[in-house]
C-alpha cells in the first residue's frame, strides 16, 4: 500500500497547498527523499523529470527553514526555464508559507535581481553562471546557506557548468546539507558527490521503466524528404492535444517551426538562440494550450514541466540513448497514457532506435502511415515576423549550448548519406514511391527548404 502525505508529517500549511495542487499520494522519490532530507541527511537522488523530485526537495526545504530573509537554501539548475519552473513549484507549495523565493538566471537584467537580493530572500533557485556573476559583483552572500540542491546535475555537467558549481559550493558553509538529483550518474557527478557530501543516502527511482510502460511507442519508417508530409499527416489525422516535436538542432527546429506554419499548423518553437522573452512567450503559449504544438531542441525543452502532453514526436532521433527516455517521458506523466512516435529514415536509425527502446526495457511497434499527398505539395514560404527575434550571440549562462556537437556522428551529417531524396550513401532508405517526391517538390524550387537537418554549424 502506498503511503500518504499525512505519514510524512508535513506542516499544515504544506498539507493545504499539497491538497490544493491535487497531489493525492507522494511519488516514490518523495516517499523516500522527504524523510531523509528532513532528518538532515545528504542525499543523492537518481531521478529524472516527471518523478516529483522538485516537490520532494521543495517540501523538505519549506518545512525545515525558518524565514530569516537571508539565503538559506540554494538550488542550482541547468537552465532558466527550469529555474522558473522550480520557483513556480516552490510558490505553489509554499503559498501558505512566508518564505521568499527568487529565480536568479542569466538572460534577465541583473539589476532586477540585485534589488530583491538586497531586500532579502530565503530561497534562491539559480543557474550557476549568474550566481558566479553575482559573487563577482558581491551582490549575493551565501554564508547563511543551510541547504544546497544540485538539480539535474548531469545536465549541468553536459552544459559545462560543473566548474562553476564547484566554485559556488566553495562559497557556502561547510556544514550545510547537500542534495544532488541527476538522471544519470557519470563519474564526474559521483566525484562531485564524494567530495561535497557526508555519507549521502541514495534514493533511486525506477521511473525509466514505469514511465516507458505507460507510453505507446511507435516508429514511422519514412523517406527523408517525406518527413514534413508525414508529421503533417499525423497532426491532421490525430489532432493531438499538447504535442512536442523534437528536432536535433536549433536550425532544424526553426525550419520545422516555419514549415509547419506554412502548412497551417500553428506552433511555437523553443531553442537556445531565441531571446529570453520569445522563449517565455513560447512556453506560456504552449503551457496554456493556446498553441498546442511545440517544436523544440533537447536542451531547450529540458525540464519543461507541462503535464497532459499527449504526443511526443522524435522528428530526429536523439544522439544519446538516455535522451530518448527523457523525451518520451514528457508524455504519460502521473500515471496517464501517452504516445511517442519516432521517425527513422534508414536502417542505421532503426537499429539505434531499437537499442534505445531495449534500454528503456519497453517495446515499440511500427506505425504504417499513409501520407496525405496534399502535404507533399510545395507550400510557398510565408512571412513570419518573429524571425529576427533572436539573441545576437548566444551569450549569457544557463540556456544555450554551442560547439560542434552536431558533427559528433558522421553518418548524420552531410557526409554520411543514407537519407532519402536521392543521396547515395549506400544505405537503403525508407520511403514512399519515388513518383510522389519527384512530382510534388519539382526539384530546386526557390524557397523550398529541407527540414530537420542542420548542415553546417549545427548546434542544439
Ligand atoms: P518533477 O519531477 O519535479 O518535474 O514533477 C513532475 C510533475 O509532477 C510536476 O507537475 C509536479 O507538480 C507533479 N507532482 C509532483 N508531486 C506529485 C504528486 N505527489 N502527485 C501528483 N503530481 C505530482
pLDDT tens digit sequence for 325-364: 888 887 876 666 789 999 999 999 998 998 888 877 788 8
The closest-lying atom of ligand 1 relative to the alpha carbon of residue 21 is 12
Ligand 1 binding pocket mutation candidate from 334, 335, 336, 338 (most atoms within 8 A of CB) = 334
**What's the pTM value of the predicted model, to 2 decimals?**
0.56
User: Which residue owns the Cα nearest ligand 1 atom 5?
Assistant: 52
Cα-based angle 157, 88, 243 (whole degrees, multiple of 5): 75
Ligand 1 pocket check for 418: Cβ under 6 Å: no
The answer, yes or no, to whether residue 369 has pLDDT greater than 80, is yes
| Phi and psi angles of residue 257, each rounded to the nearest 5 degrees, phi first | -55, -50
pLDDT of 333 = 67
Ligand 1 pocket check for 82: Cβ under 6 Å: no
Tell me which DSSP letter residue 108 carries: S
Helix, coil or strand: residue 24: coil
Q: Which three cell numbers stand for residue 363?
A: 517495446
Helix, coil or strand: residue 360: coil
Average pLDDT over residues 102-126: 96
pLDDT of 7 = 94
Kindly report the average pLDDT of the chain as a whole number. Answer: 80
Q: CB–CB of 117/102 below 8 Å? A: yes
Higher-confidence residue of 378 and 345: namely: 345
Tell me which DSSP letter residue 460 carries: -
Query: What pLDDT, in 10s, does the model give residues 1-51?
Result: 568 999 999 999 999 999 998 888 898 899 999 999 999 999 999 887 778
Distance 50 CA to ligand 1 centre (A): 6
pLDDT of 59 = 98
| Residue 98 binned pLDDT confidence (cut-offs 50, 70, 90) | very high
Query: What pLDDT, in 10s, does the model give residues 402-420?
Result: 233 332 222 222 333 333 3
pLDDT of 372 = 92
pLDDT of 10 = 96
Ligand 1 pocket check for 211: Cβ under 6 Å: no
Distance 70 CA to ligand 1 centre (A): 28
| Residue 314 binned pLDDT confidence (cut-offs 50, 70, 90) | very high
Please tell me the least confidently modeled range out of 131-135, 141-145, 348-352.
348-352
The answer, yes or no, to whether residue 162 has pLDDT greater than 60, is yes
Ligand 1 binding pocket mutation candidate from 55, 59, 329 (most atoms within 8 A of CB) = 55
Tell me which DSSP letter residue 44 carries: E
The answer, yes or no, to whether residue 276 has pLDDT greater than 50, is yes
pLDDT of 258 = 95
Q: CB–CB of 35/3 below 8 Å? A: no
User: Which residue owns the Cα nearest ligand 1 atom 21?
Assistant: 23
Q: What share of the chain has pLDDT > 90, as a percent?
A: 53
Ligand 1 pocket check for 307: Cβ under 6 Å: yes
Distance CA 354, CA 362 (A): 10
Q: CB–CB of 345/420 below 8 Å? A: yes
The DSSP string of 333-354 is: GGG--EEEEEEE-BHHHHHHHH
The closest-lying atom of ligand 1 relative to the alpha carbon of residue 47 is 2
pLDDT of 185 = 83
Distance 152 CA to ligand 1 centre (A): 15
Ligand 1 pocket check for 106: Cβ under 6 Å: no
Query: What pLDDT, in 10s, does the model give residues 257-268?
Result: 999 999 999 999
The answer, yes or no, to whether residue 165 has pLDDT greater than 90, is yes
| Residue 300 binned pLDDT confidence (cut-offs 50, 70, 90) | low
Q: Smallest Cα–Cα separation from 105: which of 453, 403, 396?
A: 396
The answer, yes or no, to whether residue 208 has pLDDT greater than 70, is no
Distance CA 247, CA 296 (A): 6
Distance CA 392, CA 26 (A): 44
Ligand 1 binding pocket mutation candidate from 8, 22, 54, 303 (most atoms within 8 A of CB) = 54
Distance 53 CA to ligand 1 centre (A): 7
The closest-lying atom of ligand 1 relative to the alpha carbon of residue 25 is 19
Q: Smallest Cα–Cα separation from 168: which of 201, 142, 202?
A: 142
Average pLDDT over residues 183-204: 90
Please tell me the least confidently modeled range out of 318-322, 392-396, 447-451.
447-451
Q: Smallest Cα–Cα separation from 327: which of 158, 452, 208, 185?
A: 208
| Residues 151, 155, 158, 162, Cα dihedral to 10° | -10
Ligand 1 pocket check for 28: Cβ under 6 Å: no
The answer, yes or no, to whether residue 164 has pLDDT greater than 70, is yes
Distance 55 CA to ligand 1 centre (A): 7
User: Which residue owns the Cα nearest ligand 1 atom 16?
Assistant: 52
Amino acid at each position: 500500500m502506498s503511503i500518504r502525505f499525512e505519514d510524512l508529517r508535513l506542516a499544515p500549511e504544506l498539507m493545504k497547498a499539497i491538497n490544493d495542487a491535487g497531489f493525492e499520494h507522494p511519488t516514490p522519490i518523495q516517499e523516500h527523499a522527504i524523510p531523509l532530507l528532513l532528518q538532515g541527511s545528504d542525499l543523492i537522488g537518481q531521478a529524472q523529470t516527471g518523478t516529483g523530485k522538485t516537490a520532494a526537495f521543495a517540501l523538505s526545504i519549506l518545512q525545515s527553514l525558518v524565514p530569516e530573509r537571508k539565503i538559506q537554501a540554494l538550488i542550482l539548475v541547468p537552465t532558466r526555464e527550469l529555474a522558473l519552473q522550480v520557483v513556480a513549484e516552490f510558490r505553489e507549495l509554499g503559498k501558505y508559507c512566508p518564505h521568499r523565493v527568487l529565480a536568479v538566471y542569466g538572460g534577465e537584467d541583473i539589476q532586477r535581481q540585485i534589488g530583491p537580493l538586497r531586500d532579502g530572500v530565503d530561497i534562491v533557485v539559480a543557474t550557476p553562471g549568474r550566481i558566479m556573476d553575482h559573487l563577482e559583483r558581491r551582490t549575493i552572500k551565501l554564508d547563511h546557506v543551510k541547504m544546497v540542491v544540485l538539480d539535474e546535475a548531469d545536465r549541468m555537467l553536459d552544459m559545462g557548468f560543473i566548474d562553476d558549481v564547484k566554485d559556488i559550493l566553495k562559497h557556502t558553509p561547510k556544514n550545510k546539507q547537500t542534495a544532488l538529483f541527476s538522471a544519470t550518474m557519470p563519474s564526474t557527478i559521483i566525484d562531485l558527490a564524494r567530495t561535497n557530501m557526508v555519507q549521502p543516502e541514495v534514493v533511486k527511482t525506477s521511473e525509466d521503466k514505469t514511465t516507458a510502460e505507460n507510453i505507446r511507442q511507435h516508429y514511422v519508417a519514412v523517406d527523408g524528404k517525406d518527413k514534413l508530409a508525414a508529421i503533417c499527416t499525423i497532426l491532421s489525422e490525430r489532432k493531438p492535444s499538447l504535442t512536442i516535436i523534437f528536432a536535433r538542432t536549433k536550425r532544424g527546429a526553426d525550419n520545422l517551426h516555419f514549415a509547419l506554419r506554412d502548412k497551417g499548423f500553428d506552433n511555437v518553437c523553443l531553442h537556445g538562440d531565441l531571446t529570453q522573452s520569445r522563449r517565455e512567450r513560447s512556453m506560456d503559449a504552449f503551457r496554456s494550450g493556446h498553441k498546442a504544438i511545440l517544436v523544440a531542441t533537447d536542451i531547450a525543452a529540458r525540464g519543461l514541466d507541462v503535464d497532459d502532453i499527449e504526443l511526443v514526436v522524435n522528428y530526429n532521433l536523439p544522439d544519446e540513448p538516455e535522451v530518448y527516455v527523457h523525451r518520451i517521458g514528457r508524455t504519460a506523466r502521473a500515471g496517464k497514457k501517452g504516445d511517442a512516435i519516432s521517425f527513422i529514415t534508414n536502417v542505421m536509425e532503426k537499429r539505434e532506435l531499437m537499442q534505445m527502446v531495449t534500454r528503456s526495457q519497453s517495446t515499440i511497434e511500427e506505425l504504417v502511415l499513409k501520407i496525405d499527398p496534399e502535404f507533399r505539395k510545395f507550400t510557398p514560404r510565408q512571412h513570419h515576423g518573429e524571425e529576427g527575434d533572436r539573441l545576437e550571440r548566444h551569450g549569457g549562462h544557463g540556456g544555450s549550448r554551442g560547439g560542434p556537437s552536431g558533427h559528433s556522428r558522421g553518418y548524420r551529417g552531410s557526409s554520411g548519406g543514407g537519407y532519402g531524396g536521392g543521396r547515395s550513401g549506400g544505405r537503403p532508405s525508407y520511403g514512399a514511391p519515388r513518383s510522389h517526391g519527384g512530382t510534388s517538390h519539382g526539384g530546386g524550387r526557390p524557397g523550398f527548404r529541407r527540414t530537420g537537418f542542420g548542415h553546417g554549424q549545427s548546434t542544439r
